Chain A
Amino acid sequence: MTVSYKGFTAVADVSFTVEQGKTLVLLGPSGCGKSSLLNAIAGFVPVTSGRIQLGGREITSVPPQQRHMSMVFQTHALFPHLSVIDNVMFGLKVWHGPKRSKAERRERAMDALRIVHLEDKAERYPDSLSGGERQRVAIARALVVNPEVLLLDEPLSSLDARLREELRFELARISAEQHLTMIYVTHDQEEAFSLGDEIAVMRAGSIQQRSSASQIYNEPRTAFVARFIGGSNLLKCTVPSARDDVAQVSGRPVRCRNPWSVPQGEAYLALRGHALTLHAPVADGNGLPATVTDVRYMGAYSAVGLVLGDGQSLRASVAGTRDLPLRAGDDVFVEWIPEDATLLVEERS
């Protein structure tokens, strides 16, 4: 589908499928079109071209209230004039499903509140709840109508770090228990990795890469993905031959992987900072000689800034809680195993 507003294309010809019971995470920086995509799926934003199907049913032009999806918003969007239980029951009252008695609706709403462990706050009003509790009520309210797809638009972004982590585990538990199909929008890599069966990294309205978390991490498809996920080093290199899995960096041949069949010529080499090991200068091994520019102790690891002979810089994360016996100006040899280095072409746009 494509979504444009007044000449600005927010979502550019994106296409994907989510399997029932699975979670797809749309991950990307702000303004990459992930929220527009989610709102188009929900029916709040019209689709400029393309189609949306739900279980084989065409829903592209179905109004949002008939799509059988519900959404959890970043701002929780609870109705302030209704108590917690009335908020949760709202969907049951207006849902175009089987008619239920008030007692039955209440019972189902209480079940939903039990799922998020808030059954004892049923009579409270949203204003008297904490941020985390409000978002849990919003989740219960979205769950109670048994949506075919649960849409979540940065549901944890407005919470503090500790609550975010707590609710992340809670969401993973609920999604597994209820066999939910979810589309989850976030800019947070940890959230994406812990919740997504599949992750789609978005940039400027298009999906750069869609695959499992480990593939995205280990085999970034584009330079953007490599940099956005975990902050890879990207080194300019030349590929002498497409078949040999060798790249020429700073005038030296190094071994690497070439999963995307980068052709002969100019390319980038993506290297994770913590895949690098530092040794005393040696002549052999799979790596490059470099000079230390700065060393920063970070607790579980040390961040080491390095510069290569041709002036390119990179950062290494050296695991260990002890101070490193290194200082700026030291000459070292940066080494890695070939599986940890991936060849990429220049960014696709």
Chain B
Amino acid sequence: MSDRTGAIAVRGMKERTRRGASLLFIPGILIVVVFLLMPVVLLILRSFSSSPAGNPDIFPLTIDNYRVFIQQFGYYASHFGKTVLLAALGALLGALVAYPLALGIVTTRSRSLRFAYVFFALTPLLVSVVIRSYGWQVLLGPTGIFGQFAPGTNGFIGTDLAVVIGLGHLATPFVLLSLLPVLDNLDMSLIRAARGLGANAVQVFFQVVLTRSMPGLVSGLVVSFAVGATVVVTPQLLGGRTDRLVPNLIFDEMTVQFDWNLAASLSTVLMVVIALVAVAVSLLESWLSPLARARRASLSMGR
């Protein structure tokens, strides 16, 4: 009898402490709501607004800001298409640079040397995007070490190539950061086993290292893509005056046309496009990657 009341008392206490513990989530939830969720909600509300720029009041609501996408479908489709393409190419270029860097870093034996490599590889993150883009403007401009070989009088400035190079530079540290932990956790005996079975360095890379690091590579690519598709300065400084990217259109609507409502609807559509691409790439990875396929097969068979 006394036993049972004891048990009830203990359970009551547990419930109370658990309820108390859940209160600890509140600061975190507040930060997420105030700093992440609210701006997005306000942005989406603004994209349905018809009140003039500068007016904090968003009512009355309208869908006119989205109607322009249907009215001028060709114009917006080509700008969004180009943004997606250049951001994707930039992310791929970043991956091409970051992968060998990551391999070099994880195979470094000395700890201090490794730290130095990681530090220097990530220094681009310490420098503003504006400075980095101006840097490329010099390098790719008519008198720069790369630009002097360009056919025109303006170096490579104003070409899509220049934009892709600039975006690739932005992407490199992000891909590197997501590759390092995956490659660090790669079981060295897998590489030794493959070598012992007769695989040369190229076969080891494509059949073992690349397959095993695919999850990290893909998440790095997705992050880089999102950064590349939203950055304003790089295409502004390195890209052409015509055929501009969506972030520049948004910037113009905000500061030149002063149409915040259209800027908001452009931003919302861009956000949705980036999210769709990210989801599509992740789905593709989990369908195609042999590693993910093996994991599914093991799961369905049970242990």
Contact = CB atoms under 8 A, between A and B. Distances in A.
Contacts of A70: 196-197
Given A96-B198, A141-B197, A81 B290 contact: yes
8 closest residue pairs by CB, A with B: A91-B197, A127-B298, A77-B189, A81-B290, A95-B198, A128-B298, A81-B291, A94-B199
Contacts of B291: 80-81
B131 interface: no
Interface in B272-297: 289-291, 293-295, 297
15 contacts: A65-B196, A65-B198, A73-B192, A77-B192, A79-B207, A80-B295, A81-B293, A83-B297, A90-B199, A94-B197, A94-B198, A94-B207, A141-B197, A142-B196, A142-B197
A125 B196 CA distance: 21
A69 B196 contact: yes
A79 B198 contact: no
Given A127-B295, A128-B298, A128-B303, A79 B195 contact: no
Interface in A61-94: 63-67, 69-71, 73-75, 77-83, 90-91, 94
B302 interface: yes
B298 to A, nearest CB: 4
B169 interface: no
B203 A94 contact: yes
Contacts of A138: 193
Given A73-B192, A81-B291, A141-B193, 4 more contacts: A39-B192, A64-B192, A81-B289, A94-B198
A92 B18 CA distance: 58
Given A65-B198, A82-B290, A90-B197, A124 B301 contact: yes
A81 B189 CA distance: 15
B185 interface: no
A44 interface: yes
Given A79-B208, A81-B291, A81-B294, A65 B195 contact: yes
Given A80-B294, A81-B211, A81-B294, A145 B193 contact: no
A206 B290 CA distance: 44
Nearest to B296: A125
Contacts of A66: 198
Interface in A24-64: 39, 42-44, 63-64
A108 to B, nearest CB: 13
Nearest to B294: A125
Interface of A: 39, 42-44, 63-67, 69-71, 73-75, 77-83, 90-91, 94-97, 124-128, 138, 141-142, 145, 151
B212 interface: yes
A81 B292 CA distance: 7
B15 interface: no
Interface residues of B, number: 28
A156 to B, nearest CB: 15
Contacts of A71: 192-193, 196
Contacts of A128: 297-298, 301-303
Contacts of A67: 196
Contacts of B232: none
A158 to B, nearest CB: 12
Interface centre among B190, B196, B293 (most CB of A within 10 A): B196
Interface of B: 187, 189-190, 192-200, 203, 207-208, 211-212, 289-291, 293-295, 297-298, 301-303
A94 B197 CA distance: 7
Nearest to B214: A81
Contacts of A95: 197-198
B248 to A, nearest CB: 42
A95 B198 CA distance: 5
A153 to B, nearest CB: 9
Given A75-B189, A81-B212, A81-B290, A145 B297 contact: no
Contact of A77 (B190, B198, B200, B301): B190
A71 B197 CA distance: 8
Nearest to B195: A64
A124 B301 CA distance: 8
A70 B195 CA distance: 9
A184 to B, nearest CB: 15
Contacts of A90: 194, 197, 199, 207
Contacts of B189: 73-75, 77
A308 B293 CA distance: 68
A196 B208 CA distance: 33
Contacts of B198: 65-66, 91, 94-97, 145
Contacts of B297: 83, 124-125, 128
Nearest to A6: B109
A300 to B, nearest CB: 37
Given A42-B192, A64-B195, A71-B192, A83 B187 contact: no
Contacts of A77: 187, 189-190, 192-193
A73 B199 contact: no
B192 A44 contact: yes
Contacts of B294: 80-83, 125-127
Nearest to B200: A65
A98 to B, nearest CB: 13
A96 B291 CA distance: 26
A309 B299 CA distance: 67
With a 10 A CB-CB cut-off, give which of B187, B193, B203, B291 has the most chain A CB atoms: B193
Contacts of B211: 81
B145 to A, nearest CB: 38
A43 B196 CA distance: 9
Contact of A94 (B194, B212, B293, B303): B194
Nearest to B292: A81
A64 B196 contact: yes
A94 B207 CA distance: 10
Nearest to A73: B189
Contacts of A65: 195-200
